Structure 1
Amino acid sequence: MSKRKQHDSESSGPKLALEYAKADVDAGVEGPFLAVFPGVTPPQSTTFNVYKTASDDGKAKRKKRILEADTGKVEFVGQNFGENARQGYCRYVVAIRNKKTNKLVFKDAPVIAINRTVKALKTLKPSTVGQEFMLAKNALGEAFGTKKIKQQIKSVERNAVNVNTLETVADILRDTIAEKTSALPSKEEIKAKADEDRPIPPYDINATKVEDIYKLDTLISPAEYQIIPFKPLLEKGVQLSTILPFKTSSYVNDGLKAALSTSKKDRHRIRLLLYLSFLMAFRTIPDKKLNNTETVNAIMGNCPSLILENFFQRFTETPESATGDDRQKHTFTPKSKDKLLCWMLAVSLHLENFNMDAATLTHDLSLKQTRVNELFRSLGCKVSELTPTQRSQMGLEASDAQGMKRAVLTVPLTFPLPKRGPKKAK
């Protein structure tokens, strides 16, 4: 696979200089740090102090740091070593851009978990009222009580709550709860976040025409469209099995036979069907063989390198290699697989004028019908039973059309609300 050349316009602009802040490290400049606050978060104006060990012997000791802050009522303390250190396998850096010099400086940012302590509780002495009586009673129960009584004593001890202690922190808890609940996302914000995370092609939520929701130029770039090798399909007596990379798709095969049987060939439809066959073939590449050039070429057939390169960019992930291998690795993830399926359905919606039988591609993709319906809904389609008008147009009786559903994309585009809570038992 060959990499595409960058446009001259891209290389003519100002270049951004990259630099690692080694000088700051050697000079002893502290920070930045990434702090994790489980539970209560201090105000943004809180000032943290950084401490390090007195001895600098050894590389590990030089990196030990303690962060500390005091808000008057609560103390915050965290460290990157010992039992309270945050365990992780990632290294974080913070990038700082200087607008004047156009230089981007990368600085190490260790992650430190911050623990909080309510100062009023540090000197609090437990109440002794009735304590001796309860201790004596529990001792008798432990010595002579039944198994059930012993279990009750242990349960009470585990769940005991000191009300006086809670009174001292009531104001802190009340303020914290009010602050946290005010920051909770609204229903609209939750829906907007869910829409952003959908594994679907780029869309226009404000489109006024259904063909502009998932524009064909975003599904198949103009450069890809021009190089789709459809001309061999126009030759007389051509065998589809010798050209199509995915040979067992009833939808693609039947669609091409219909398009090629007419006197005036619909070249646009032939291009889209062949592109859909490339997508189906790419989905069949085993995850462990994505980086094997011979296997990929054998499965994809005569797929142009530009199209194949875009497939890898859109539908695979490239995680960091644990072995330190510099070669780029590709892998399928659940989200990237769903994105590839949604891409196929979006192309098929263009072929079917955005109103198609929901079961059309189910057999070709070896999926359950409920799964395909779910993917159509994630694209914003309405999946519903055939209407009487649709049944009459297809020449079907009500009994024959039972269970048949249509996937219809309409404007304005709307997505289903995210589901909350566990599924209800049937």
Structure 2
Amino acid sequence: MASRATWAYRGDPDQGQEALLVQFSNGNIQSPDSLDFTLYRNKDHKTPKTKKQRILAAETDRLSYVGNNFSSDASKCNTLCRYFVGILNKESGTMEVYDAEHFKMQPILGSSTNSEVQNEDGTDQPSKSYREKMDSLIEAFGTNKQKRALSSRKLNQVGSEILSKAMEKAAEEIIESRGTTELVKDAVGNKEQDSSLFLPPCDFSAEKPEDVYKFDDLLFPAEYAALEVASAAFRNITSEELQQMVENKKYGLFVLQELHDMPKDEKDRDHKARCLWYLDALIKLSQQKVVKRKEILSPECPNIICGKLMKNFTVVIYKNGSILNSISGTTKSKIVAHVIALALHITDFQVDLTFLQRDMKLKESRILEIARAMGLKINKKMMFMGASIDEGHKIGVLTIPLTVYKPPVGGIKRKKM
């Protein structure tokens, strides 16, 4: 029967008597006797977190190795467990037990240890990244296809940097001109507005049709006052001038129809002339793709109206190295919605959508979709254009409460041929 063995605890880590378990990341050491180990301990023994930090260095004839027990490269041992190494003395039958500390040794290479390399002229340069090294290889030994791809990627990178700098400069100019306080107010105001991207401000609980889309929300008092001079041609129009406008086709069908029915009262006539002039400006704006301020700022157009059109109904785009104002799909829908809302105030809340559709060169389904989103009731009315010509026009009527349209269940059915 074998004799019983006893064990004795010898490894007090505070006294530096722990055993070191070493693992080399790049393979096994063929000649362990040729290794020269050096252990470094943290001098700060008062801090519990740092007093157990160790760095182990190993030297061979070919390479140098280093490992530690506190960085991200350290061995992933369970910190809640303690590890021990036992050495059995067969003669005495005693097992001497030591605390074990595990180190994962990494080789130290010249290109990875030095964060900086010296150039031929002696100046220090940062070491190249993997991407930069690959680009250098492609430039030296790559195929024509790889070189073209590399050149295209560098051009795209330069273009994105130029765009980023332009956006940063534009943002700095806006902040300097308006201040952060005004920008915060605008952000808070945008959150409080309706979630729609193109509909004008709407009061769904209004008790009167004129309070649903308020006139002051469509045309601010200062803007309305600035239209006094610009709308003089509409206010003082004669039958001969109206006939000339019809022949020149400079204005749309809706504007010409309403100019034909101008009221006799001077105050009402002035109000309608201002509204028609602004509505005509919106219709002409909807027919453009790229908008230039100098084209809108005609001699009769007030500066405040020009700024409103550029700010509220255009988007800024970056094209061919320049910043442009464009009419997108969303902004065009916004223009159509504001035109319908303003036309409702002009026509006693019954607007001929067919005339507006033709003036803005829209599909009938598109303007009807926007009118339904605004809560209008769609009626059909026969219009007699001549002795024997009549056609059906779609009329949008604003009623209280607003009409709520629901999408059809099951989708749109296709007609059979």
* TM-score where L is the length of structure 1: 0.45
TM-score in terms of structure 2 length = 0.46
Indicate the structure whose relative CO is greater, using CA pairs within 8 Å and at least 6 residues apart.
1
**Bigger Cα Rg:** 2
Higher strand share: 2
